[in-house]
């Protein structure tokens, strides 16, 4: 039985007309084992001499003891399910049952000393479930929908109703203010967090993201062959050797991590909003970085193929394809297609188009004068959403989900050009001296005409703007100031 499967819930079998219960879990975990101490407080409307209940323990765990208020309880175990009968005694309206179990299996290793555990803990449907988890060198965690959590010393506490799924990561890596790195140096990491947190206005539930930097072969084997980074359940994995791409890719994954807390209501597999926001912020950083480095541009969003000159001395140019094809977007609208309602990055057939479409949604919202922070403030439907169509309808209430869908091709092209040419800025979160809190500063990227000409249309055109050297210096100073804090 996997950690995602619903556990057999506890059921009080009594002659009373009603009752209630509260469950408290105390989990002490290490890389080698985990010990779970569960307290079940039962209450009945009518007095009962002997209480019976069905309970479950983590898969493959050893039951250490089961006790009630009078001493050790009788129980039968079938698989991971316990049938518990308390000691008989005077009729009473309350009873306390304690179940201690030990999981002796080693935690899952991620990379270079970073490990994780994933568990499902039982609870009573509609009744309070709370608890604490302690683990040496705990870094991050995630709880299921409807549960709140907070950091507490060497662990975290959680509270909600019913059963709960937990995952948490621990290890001792190279530490910065908001990251722990496993497999690489931590240099420059705070750049990514500052822009992601500042632009979205979101904060993680924990102090640091664990980041495993994997060699290419291991990344291909454990993640996939087409991506550069991945965020899942409180941890980031990034492909080794990204060089100039490292900060933008890390920022992309941090946005996923921040969204993970905000979008817990989303139970669909579609990822257009998540990927669109992450790509928007990633490419803002790429644009800022291009004018002070030799990195290639990301390509125009639903624009034209461009040429890029990596070396001004050799007269050799590289072709840079656009991010998304405008003709295909026009056909998508003309044919009333709707696959974007269910699109995720796993859709290999529409992956490139889907990323571009998702980013266009966010960029047009900003170009139209929308605020990303205000957008996030309104993204709470107050319920879980499992139907992709319902999710699309909800987002359509807050943002244009069919950007640049216009009646003529001329209007369509003009809309795309307006979105591409908009002068986007971003925000960065920086630490306040002394108290460790974060303040947000607005940053406006230099006008495109002031930047060094990286992308030139047509063939081997070697003309360059006269002010390019000064523009490079000015943007370099901006970027040095922007990313000097740790």
Give residues with Cβ within 8 angstroms of 369, minimum separation 6: none
Report which DSSP code applies to 335.
Answer: T
pLDDT-derived band at 446 (thresholds 50, 70, 90) equals low
User: How far is Cα 171 from Cα 117, in angstroms, rounded to an integer?
Assistant: 12
Note whether 189 and 163 are within 8 A (CB): no
pLDDT of residue 153: 85
User: How far is Cα 151 from Cα 430, in angstroms, rounded to an integer?
Assistant: 21
Span(s) in the chain for CATH 2.60.40: 11-170
Share of the chain above pLDDT 90, in %: 72
- Residue count of the chain: 486
Lowest mean pLDDT among 13-22, 291-300, 388-397: 13-22
pLDDT of residue 139: 97
Return the number of other C-beta atoms located less than 10 Å from residue 221's C-beta.
Answer: 11
- At 231-261, the pLDDT tens digits run 999 999 999 999 889 999 999 999 999 999 9
Lowest mean pLDDT among 424-433, 449-458, 465-474: 465-474
Helix axes 272-290, 190-200, angle to 10 degrees: 120
Of 1.10.520, 2.60.40, 1.10.600, 1.25.40, which CATH number belongs to 11-170? 2.60.40
Task: Using alpha carbons, list the distances in angstroms from residue 178 to 91, 141, 142, 368.
Answer: 54, 14, 17, 32
User: How far is Cα 338 from Cα 336, in angstroms, rounded to an integer?
Assistant: 7
User: Which residue from 450, 444, 428, 423 is spatially nearest to 291, judged by alpha carbons?
Assistant: 450
Two structure tokens written together for 138: 């705990």
User: Which residue from 54, 51, 22, 53 is spatially nearest to 38, judged by alpha carbons?
Assistant: 22
Note whether 42 and 97 are within 8 A (CB): yes
Q: Which of 34-38, 145-149, 444-448, 473-477 has maximum average pLDDT? A: 34-38
User: How far is Cα 23 from Cα 158, in angstroms, rounded to an integer?
Assistant: 12
Give residues with Cβ within 8 angstroms of 165, minimum separation 6: 3, 4, 118, 119, 120, 121, 143, 144
Position 32 pLDDT exceeds 80: yes
The CB-side HSE value for 135 (13 A sphere, CA atoms) comes to 29
- At 68-97, the pLDDT tens digits run 999 999 999 999 999 999 999 999 999 999
pLDDT-derived band at 341 (thresholds 50, 70, 90) equals very high
- At 150-193, the pLDDT tens digits run 999 889 999 999 999 999 999 999 999 999 999 987 677 888 99
User: How far is Cα 259 from Cα 453, in angstroms, rounded to an integer?
Assistant: 34
Region 347-354 average pLDDT = 96
Note whether 96 and 68 are within 8 A (CB): yes
For the chain, the distance separating the N- and C-terminal CA atoms, rounded to the nearest angstrom, is 43
User: Which residue from 469, 237, 275 is spatially nearest to 356, judged by alpha carbons?
Assistant: 275
Helix or strand (DSSP H, E) at 129: strand 128-135
User: How far is Cα 361 from Cα 390, in angstroms, rounded to an integer?
Assistant: 18
137: exposed, middle or buried (Cβ count in 10 Å: 0-12, 13-18, 19+): middle
Give residues with Cβ within 8 angstroms of 470, minimum separation 6: none
Greater pLDDT, 278 or 443: 278
Average of per-residue pLDDT values in the chain: 86
Helix axes 272-290, 246-262, angle to 10 degrees: 150
Residue 486 DSSP SS3: coil
Q: Which residue has the tokens 């943002």?
A: 399
- At 425-441, the pLDDT tens digits run 888 887 776 666 777 77
Greater pLDDT, 472 or 245: 245
Region 312-336 average pLDDT = 90
pLDDT of residue 427: 85
pLDDT of residue 1: 33
Note whether 210 and 140 are within 8 A (CB): yes
- At 383-436, the pLDDT tens digits run 999 999 999 999 999 999 999 999 999 999 999 999 999 999 888 887 776 666
Region 349-359 average pLDDT = 97
User: How far is Cα 209 from Cα 432, in angstroms, rounded to an integer?
Assistant: 20
């Amino acid at each position: 039985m996997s950690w995602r499967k619903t556990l057999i819930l506890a059921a009080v079998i009594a002659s009373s007309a009603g009752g209630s219960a509260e469950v408290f879990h105390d989990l002490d975990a290490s890389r080698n084992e985990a010990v779970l101490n569960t307290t079940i407080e039962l209450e009945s409307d009518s007095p009962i001499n002997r209480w019976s209940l069905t309970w479950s323990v983590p898969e493959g765990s050893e039951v250490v003891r089961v006790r009630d208020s009078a001493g050790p309880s009788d129980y039968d175990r079938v698989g991971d399910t316990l049938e518990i009968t308390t000691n008989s005694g005077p009729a009473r309206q309350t009873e306390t049952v304690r179940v201690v179990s030990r999981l002796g299996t080693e935690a899952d290793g991620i990379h270079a000393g970073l490990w994780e555990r994933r568990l499902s803990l039982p609870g009573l449907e509609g009744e309070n479930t709370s608890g604490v988890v302690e683990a040496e060198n705990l870094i991050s965690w995630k709880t299921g929908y409807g549960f709140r959590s907070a950091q507490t010393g060497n662990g975290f506490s959680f509270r909600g109703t019913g059963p709960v799924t937990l995952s948490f990561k621990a290890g001792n890596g190279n530490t910065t203010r908001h990251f722990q790195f496993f497999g690489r140096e931590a240099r420059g990491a705070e750049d990514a967090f500052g822009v992601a947190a500042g632009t979205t206005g979101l904060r993680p539930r924990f102090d640091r993201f664990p980041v495993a930097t994997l060699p290419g072969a291991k990344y291909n084997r454990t993640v996939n062959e087409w991506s550069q980074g991945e965020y899942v359940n409180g941890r980031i994995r990034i492909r080794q050797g990204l060089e100039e791409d490292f900060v933008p890719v890390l920022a992309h994954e941090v946005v996923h991590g921040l969204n993970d807390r905000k979008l817990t209501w989303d139970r669909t597999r579609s990822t257009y909003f998540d990927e669109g926001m992450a790509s928007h912020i990633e490419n803002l950083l790429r644009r800022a970085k291009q004018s002070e480095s030799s990195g290639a541009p990301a390509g125009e969003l639903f624009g034209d193929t461009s040429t890029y000159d990596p070396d001004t001395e050799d007269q050799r140019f590289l072709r840079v394809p656009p991010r998304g094809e405008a003709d295909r977007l026009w056909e998508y609208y003309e044919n009333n297609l709707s696959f974007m309602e269910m699109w995720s990055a796993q859709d290999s057939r529409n992956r490139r188009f889907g990323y571009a479409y998702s980013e266009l949604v966010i960029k047009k919202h900003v170009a139209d004068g929308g605020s990303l922070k205000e957008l996030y403030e309104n993204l709470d439907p107050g319920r879980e959403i499992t139907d992709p169509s319902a999710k699309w309808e909800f987002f359509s209430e807050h943002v244009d989900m069919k950007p640049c869908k216009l009646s003529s091709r001329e209007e369509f092209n003009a809309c795309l050009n307006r979105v591409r040419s908009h002068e986007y800025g971003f925000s960065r979160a920086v630490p306040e001296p002394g108290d460790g809190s974060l303040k947000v500063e607005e940053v406006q990227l230099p006008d495109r005409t002031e930047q060094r000409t990286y992308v030139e249309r047509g063939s081997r055109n070697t003309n360059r703007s006269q002010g390019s050297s000064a523009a490079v210096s000015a943007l370099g100073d901006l970027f040095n100031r922007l990313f000097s804090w740790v």
